[in-house]
Structure 1
């Protein structure tokens, strides 16, 4: 009898202990993360570098977190529309944004009525990729280099039409700065993403565009567009035949970046896990090969380093925007 009671007591104690373990606080599950599908907002239309990078990250994160990571394209106003959506979201890690140089460095100086602060309104999680810009023209175009571009712009009243993924992008600012250095006029044609802009160049609707290398890479290799200049300091190993701006007499260089951010106030354990899993995704051989094909360089920053970097980018680009005189319509 005593033995049976002892065994029952042990069994009861085990059940109570198990229940205690189930209800005890857990560093991540206490916040219920991830509680379901994660929404990754891309503040540009599909088909551009931001979108391509986001989908690569989403696939890898989904596998590692065990929940779908759904890419949602919300373009508009120099990448600020989608970014504002995330700044307003609950800080639980279930809504993230593919932050970038346009939404978090250039547009804050370009748009005077933003409701978000690029540093304080977000939790900056992980730098994903950096890459140069490349200028492309329709392959049937007579423009083969920057000298040809300058001549074509000077020959056209009002200047040449020049496209970009949207007002406030680094590609937009590169167009403005080049026009100043070359002494030419241009008409900026902002699209709601690099994909639609590239389609217009391929169709011959606009003569050229300034694009981030990852979104242009496949089109250059396929011959659907011709690259005439790249903004890296040296020629890019993935495209050694494309000359730099400096080689062609223009002291210009520019690098874009794409990263993972969320609303301000996210719990530290959630940030730490998202950073760790994102770093694992971009460190995988498959991702590194894909980045190399696209002409991008994987990022390597802690959340604290990335937050400092964003603050430095805001400070660096604000005087550039003011000095250029660029506006959303320029």
Structure 2
């Protein structure tokens, strides 16, 4: 027979057990908004719709992509930051909203760390370092030597002031003491034209842009992933090229408003991880030039803080004007 003390302990534990059971069985009671802070048709929109379709059946509610473009994605992030923390509004996030915007001094209506609950580091896409075909170099080491010793600053392109392609090159410039100067473009297409014509010496650009380029043979010298990228296995990493510990990623993550209960965060983490492990999602990610990650809330939160610190330090001496 159970003792009186055991019965009392069991009685006291029942409310906690009931709350735990409810939490583990949480499900949304209405359609869920997955806010994509970009216009329809881009890679993030494709990714968002892919995941929305994958998780809809398993959560028992429609997960609807809501495109909130504007201000480099800040409007979409603001929408989620101000939403109720009930698990029915999620953000498909990139560094542009959660780390780079603050690092370069954008005036924000939200705190990119305090106002969001990280859920999942979904995927990574490295950037590639490409060089003009007329440069007398064969590899990354040769390009770095040429840029260090250049009598006049060598022009490099980016896809815009304050973008990741700008900050990654500025990080490399500071580390390797390169004599280069920034020439911003509105996207990769115009920059590619000037690169192929020799008016631009080099640039960092997303791997999907490289894979989709059809105007001629680009000279890809390195990628910023820790290991060689599957879609371009012949291209060495920056680390293999001699730049110690140099990695960078165009990452995508999932976040909710701050204050969202831990059990709700865990449910969404589990659902998106299941989707991430399907052959369909893996195949589509590869086509987008990305690889799955799958790190959970704690690891994703660490990435956000480290990313913010890195790009804040890189941007500090640049006097970037973004308003």
TM-score, normalising length: structure 2: 0.71
Cα distance change, pair 73–142 in 1 and its aligned pair in 2 (3 A): farther
Residue of 288, 296, 306 corresponding to 2:282: 288
Residue of 181, 190, 209 corresponding to 1:200: 190
Q: Distance in 1 between matches of 2:216 and 2:56?
A: 34
The equivalent of 2:64 in structure 1 is 69
Contact 1:135 1:211 in 2 (8 A): yes
Equivalent residue pairs, number? 291
Cα distance change, pair 255–44 in 1 and its aligned pair in 2 (3 A): farther
Q: Does 1:89 align with 2:51?
A: no
Q: Does 1:327 align with 2:317?
A: no
Q: Does 1:173 align with 2:163?
A: no
Q: Equivalences for 1:42-81 in 2 at 5 Å?
A: 42-43=37-38, 46-48=41-43, 50-65=44-59, 66-77=61-72, 79-81=73-75
Q: Distance in 2 between matches of 1:108 and 1:285?
A: 36
Between structure 1 and structure 2, the one with the greater Rg is: 1
Cα distance change, pair 291–320 in 1 and its aligned pair in 2 (3 A): same
Q: Does 1:273 align with 2:267?
A: yes
CA apart distance, 1:121: 0.3
Cα distance change, pair 187–319 in 1 and its aligned pair in 2 (3 A): closer
Residue of 19, 28, 33 corresponding to 2:28: 33
* 3-state SS of 2:91 partner: strand
The equivalent of 1:183 in structure 2 is 178
Contact 1:125 1:274 in 2 (8 A): yes
Gaps of 5+ in 2: 1-20
CA apart distance, 1:190: 5.4
Gaps of 5+ in 1: 1-25, 192-196
TM-score, normalising length: structure 1: 0.70
